[in-house]
Structure formats: C-alpha cells, structure tokens
C-alpha cells in the first residue's frame, strides 16, 4: 500500500516529530511506502535526513523543484498539485491536521481516497468555509483523542466515520529503564513545566501557583522548559510577584529526558490541549502530573492514580487580571465533564498550589502516584500500539472505505 502524506514540515514540533516517527516505524513493520507532499516552504533541517530516509519521494505543495508558484496563478497551483498527486500514485492520502488548507489536497487527490487526521486543528478559529468544505468532502477521519473526535462532531458537525488512534510516546523519549521516584525529603520540591511560552499553555498560572506556595511556606522551585512569544510577559510577572529566586526559565531544552528526571512533578495547566504529550513524557519518567480537566488531558492522566486533574472554574476575565493574554485563544474547548464544548476557562492557581502541597505532604501517596504514572505511561501509550491502530484504520479504509472497526 502506498500512502501519500500532506504535512507541514517547516518547523520542529509535536506533529512533525510524530510524523517522522510514524513513517520510520511503519516502513519497517508494514508492507507500505510513504510519499510526502510538504505543505511548507521547506523541510526543516533537523528533519531532512529522517524524512528522506523513509519516504520514496518528497514534493512541495506550492513549489516546483526551483520556483514557488505564486498565489496569483491559482490554476498553475492546482495543476501542479494534481500532477504531483498523480505521480505519487497513492492508495490513501493522509491529511495531517491543517484542516482549512488541506481542502486543496482533497481537490487534487479526491475525497474518496483522503483521510483527515485531526491533531488539534479542529480547535483553531478561522478558515471556517474551507474547514467545512474539507469535512464535507472526506468521509473518514482519525483522531488522536476522544476529545478530538468530539470536537469534530460537536464543533464541526462531522458526520463521517472516525477512528480513535490515541497518541503515544515517541520511542526516543522513553528512558531505557523507567524508575519510580523516591519522595524528595531533604531538598526543595522542583515543579516542572514543559510548554511553549504562550497564553494557551497556562504558564502564567504556574507562576502564580509557585507564588502561592511561597506564601504557604513550602520550599518549592518552578523549572520551565520552553520558549515562546510570551516570555517577556512571564518574566515581568515573575518580577512583579517577587519569585525570581524560585523560578528558572531554562529556554529550549534539547534533552527533555534529563529535564523530566530533574523535577519531582509536572504542572500542566493548559487552557486547551487536544492530547497532552508532555504529560505522558513526564509520567514515563516517574513524575506525577497535575493538569487541567479540559480536552484530552484527562484521557492521559488518571485522577488520583497517575496524577491530579483539576477542573477549570475561572473565566477569562480572571486570566487577564492574572497577566494572561486572551486575544489568541480558541472560541471553544471540549469539556469532558459535560461532554460538550464551551469557551475556555482556567484552573484557579490557588487550588493548584493546595493540590501540590497535599501531594508533597504525603510521601506514601507521592511514591504510589510515581509508580502508577510509570506503569500507565508504558502500558497505555506504547508506540507500537498507536502505529498499529493507525495502520489498521488506514488498511481498512483502503479495502472497505471505512476506518472504524465497528
């Protein structure tokens, strides 16, 4: 079987890493060939070797070998896209995220051969007409979480067949031997945050939580791995709250395994998160996770077992007062408690501080959560299980025109 992938590869993020891992794994374990149409100006230098080593061809959606086809020549773009799609001879086309822009792929390949793979695009505002056009022309989709599936159904009224292919740990982030933690009794508690420094990730809330912990007399530090557009906002907040001695901004961290091993728990108070790969990564390193009950996050963290899941109860006016930006947030998130969509809310950072204090006030509970985090991460999020689920769905689509087994 030959799969044609429409995927943006200009940056190095979660989707790009997952794509590279997927074609690498499946090429070795399935009778499949991968062709790639890059929906970006380039393939990022960090990905070139991996992609070209596992794909039989790599073409560009809006470029020939030497020139970009200008947007004022739409007929030339259409002809180019159809030409490279024909040359790839796909049995199935996988459209990775980019719900709005990928309607062009449907036009080039034909909806009957396309599967849309949602990895968060269904949350994003904009391109309303293009998104509805794509979903009206493809009959099958993959979702990386139950939340993603419900967002497609509730927000976009998608009536097609959807297969749930729960995301997984990339093998290169899994330590050779996952070890449960020993309670940190003679050192400051190190709380980790692994996220882009953007408002959607709720890092502002983590800074307020560490300030609340200082007021409560807990010897705790906040260690943040990530960069982003809101770095100056967060730095100003750290100064304003007077927690400069208790917060470390590490910037871009290349060795995330070492980062997870250095902290005692992960705090991830995102306002929107289709899945939450950082939570699984922390869990497999023995870190209990404290996270928000929104979107796909409670599908990863089992409340009271591998971590603590907190209900977002405060509206966005409070977030603005705390220093968060609200201008680029999605209109809707999925609320697992009501199985419906609603506008984003935030976790109360004071309540997060209370839960952190409770976690580190009980060594037996802490060590039990650490063990359970490792066990759940390794058993539920094994990469081979994820890849097998995707390939089963794609193979079924190629043979029967549907992706779900039911």
Contact assessment for residue 227 and residue 346, using Cβ atoms and an 8 Å cutoff: no
* pLDDT tens track for 206-228: 999 999 999 999 999 999 999 99
In the three-class reduction of DSSP (H, G, I as helix; E, B as strand; rest coil), residue 159 is classed as coil
Contact assessment for residue 359 and residue 369, using Cβ atoms and an 8 Å cutoff: yes
Q: Is the pLDDT of residue 369 over 90?
A: yes
Q: Please report which helix (H) or strand (E) contains residue 250, including its range.
A: strand 247-251
Number of Cβ within 10 Å of residue 167's Cβ equals 23
397 is written with which tokens?
């689509």
* pLDDT tens track for 148-205: 999 999 999 999 999 999 999 888 888 888 789 999 988 999 999 999 999 999 999 9
Phi, psi of 68 (to 5 degrees): -80, 135
Model's pTM, two decimal places? 0.92
Measured CA to CA, the distance from residue 36 to residue 48 in angstroms comes to 12
281 is written with which tokens?
């990564």
Number of Cα atoms under 13 Å in the Cβ half of residue 348: 7
Query: Which positions ≥6 away from 59 have C-beta within 8 Å?
Result: 35, 36, 37, 38, 84, 87, 88
Q: Is the pLDDT of residue 280 over 80?
A: yes
Give the chain's domains with CATH numbers: 2-168+383-400 (3.40.50.2000), 172-380 (3.40.50.2000)
Phi, psi of 7 (to 5 degrees): -150, 140
């Amino acid at each position: 079987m030959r799969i044609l992938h429409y995927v943006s590869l200009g940056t190095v993020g979660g989707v790009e890493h997952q794509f590279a891992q997927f074609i690498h794994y499946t090429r070795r374990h399935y009778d499949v060939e991968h062709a790639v149409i890059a929906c970006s100006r380039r393939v990022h230098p960090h990905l070139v070797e991996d992609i070209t080593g596992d794909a039989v061809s790599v073409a560009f959606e809006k470029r020939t070998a030497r020139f970009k086809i200008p947007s004022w020549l739409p007929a030339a773009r259409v002809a180019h896209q159809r030409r490279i799609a024909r040359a790839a001879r796909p049995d199935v086309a996988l459209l990775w995220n980019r719900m709005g822009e990928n309607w062009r792929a449907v036009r080039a390949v034909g909806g009957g051969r396309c599967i849309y793979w949602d990895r968060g695009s269904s949350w994003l505002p904009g391109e309303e007409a293009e998104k509805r056009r794509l979903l009206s022309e493809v009959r099958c989709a993959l979702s990386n979480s139950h939340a993603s599936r419900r967002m497609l159904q509730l927000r976009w009224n998608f009536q097609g067949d959807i297969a749930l292919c729960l995301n997984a740990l990339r093998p290169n982030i899994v330590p050779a031997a996952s070890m449960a933690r020993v309670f940190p009794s003679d050192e400051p508690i190190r709380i980790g945050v692994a996220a882009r420094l953007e408002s959607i990730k709720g890092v502002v809330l983590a800074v307020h939580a560490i300030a609340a912990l200082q007021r409560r007399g807990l010897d705790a530090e906040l260690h943040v791995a990530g960069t982003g557009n809101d770095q100056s906002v967060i730095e100003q907040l750290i100064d304003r709250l007077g927690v400069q001695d208790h917060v470390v901004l590490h910037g871009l961290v290349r060795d995330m395994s070492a980062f997870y091993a250095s902290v005692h728990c992960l705090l991830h108070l995102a306002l929107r998160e289709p899945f939450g790969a950082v939570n699984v990564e922390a869990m497999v390193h023995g870190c209990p996770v404290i996270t928000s009950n929104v979107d796909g996050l409670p599908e990863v963290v089992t409340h009271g077992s591998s971590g603590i899941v907190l209900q977002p109860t405060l509206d966005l006016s409070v977030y603005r007062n705390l220093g968060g930006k609200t201008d680029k947030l999605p209109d809707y998130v999925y609320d697992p408690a009501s199985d419906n969509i609603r506008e984003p809310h935030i976790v109360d950072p004071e309540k997060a501080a209370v839960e952190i204090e409770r976690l580190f006030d009980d060594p037996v509970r802490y060590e039990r959560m650490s063990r359970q985090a490792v066990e759940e991460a390794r058993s539920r999020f094994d990469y081979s299980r994820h890849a097998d689920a995707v390939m089963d769905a794609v193979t079924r689509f190629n043979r029967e025109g549907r992706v779900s087994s039911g």
